[in-house]
Amino acid sequence: MHRDPAAKKHADTLIVFMNSQAPRHIPLAERMRPTRIEDFVGQEELLGEGRILDKLIRQKKIPSLLLWGPPGSGKTTLARILAQNMSADFVFFSAVLSGVKEIREIVARAEKRKKAESIQTILFVDEIHRFNKAQQDAFLPHVESGLLTLIGATTENPSFQVIAPLLSRCRVLVLKSLSPENLKTILERALADKKNGLARHKIKIEEKAMAHICSLADGDARIGLNILEVAADLAEPAGTDKDGLQVITVDIAEEASQRRHLRYDAAGEEHYNQISALHKSLRDSDPDGALYWLARMLAAGEDPLYIARRLIRFASEDVGIADPQAITIVVNCRNAYHMLGSPEGELALVEAAVYLATAPKSNALYKAYNEVRRDIEKTGSLPVPLHIRNAPTRLMRDLDYGKGYRYAHDDAEGLVDQEHMPDELSGRKYYHPTTHGYEALVKERLTKWSQILKARKNKTEPQSIKGEKH
């Protein structure tokens, strides 16, 4: 959002001369953390003129907030700047390392400072999604009373992890991944900064290398700065060009990064977002989308057997009898992966995904089962009709168990007309097959059987139907 005029751009390279020594024991990403709102990069939707944070900062009135966004998007930095703008006591609290005892100490300190100096306390809770219910309950009353202004940072959807009373007292602000342009501004600033940046280097960075680092960072400023810092170290022994400048090339940037850091949390929202994207690609019969999201999840470290389980579920829920072979093939692919492991077995999951994406679809089974469950919930434990009850004892036979039961195999066509539902649900139909794939044959078969039974009742011949014979 705000560009530093000290960072000069050139057509092919960015050239920066640096002289002073920077504090090398602190990571570059921490040294370059902005301390003023004017230096904050990105999140224009929140900080742009007239936007919510712009208004709150001008009014010097900050309510309790939940900052929800991906790693490296500026949540912690933004919280520190807001506290500084309020002239408040900023208390950093880690949900991973701290507990209820530390909360009590913070509350006591906040009460003391408010009473003695009229100073407000802003409690910044990093990774608030890792708080358990007891920890959240411990500071809830102090947020309600206004003693503490809470700013929580989370990479997870707060509606899943934050208790409802606390969530209702906080304004949720959604931060986005930094754009490549945002990342370039941040990296240029780090190269140009003589106090906290890479001051000991005399560097020329290729534009392609800069773009590559921005791509590798995947919207995360911390990753981008970490790669840049390592790349600067690798450039030194690599020699200099004719102008005596050390050059960060694409190869050096690639070596510094080791691998692309794909944003993913196997227990968090990205996990659910990506499995949802895979599921919907399969349902929409898009093999390319299915392949992409399958590969994304595998590359990010998702458990392949979890993916296999979801594919098996899909075979029943979204393909069903439209292709009865789907579940067999997917189970076999799951077993193949289990035998081979990664990376060889991953191709079996690819096969399963492409098969499902290109299979005919039907959710008739899924809908039928849900409808049955709803009826059971409404009607409770309805008794089994007497004629289809088992009657292994004389007492049961005397009570008419099994009386009037007709054995289907005794019928020339293997069909009998008898009720199998409880009396209260007599005639209820749940399964409505589609005309997709094999299920079209099932539909035709059921229609034929229905007509045969109806014809018997009316003592007329059934209407001729094209298709398979019974």
Average pLDDT across each block of 10 residues of the chain; the chain has 470 residues. List them in order.
Answer: 40 36 70 88 87 85 87 88 80 72 83 83 84 81 85 84 86 89 92 83 84 86 90 74 76 77 56 88 94 90 88 95 95 91 90 96 93 89 88 85 88 88 89 92 91 83 47
pLDDT given at position 332:
95
With 0-12 / 13-18 / 19 or more C-beta atoms within 10 angstroms meaning exposed / middle / buried, residue 187 is: buried
- For the chain, give every domain's residue range: 13-28+179-257, 43-174, 269-358, 384-458
Amino acid (1-letter code) at residue 327:
I
From the options 1.10.3720.10, 3.30.110.70, 3.40.50.80, 1.20.272.10, give the CATH code of 269-358. 1.20.272.10
Strands 202-206, 13-17: pairing is antiparallel
Rounded CA Rg of the chain: 33
The answer to whether the peptide bond before residue 180 is cis (omega within 30 degrees of 0) is: no
Residue tagged 């088992």 (tokens): 390
CATH class given for the domain over 384-458: mainly alpha
Query: DSSP label at 21?
Result: P
The CATH code of domain 13-28+179-257 reads 1.10.8.60
CATH class given for the domain over 43-174: alpha beta
Its pTM stands at 0.55
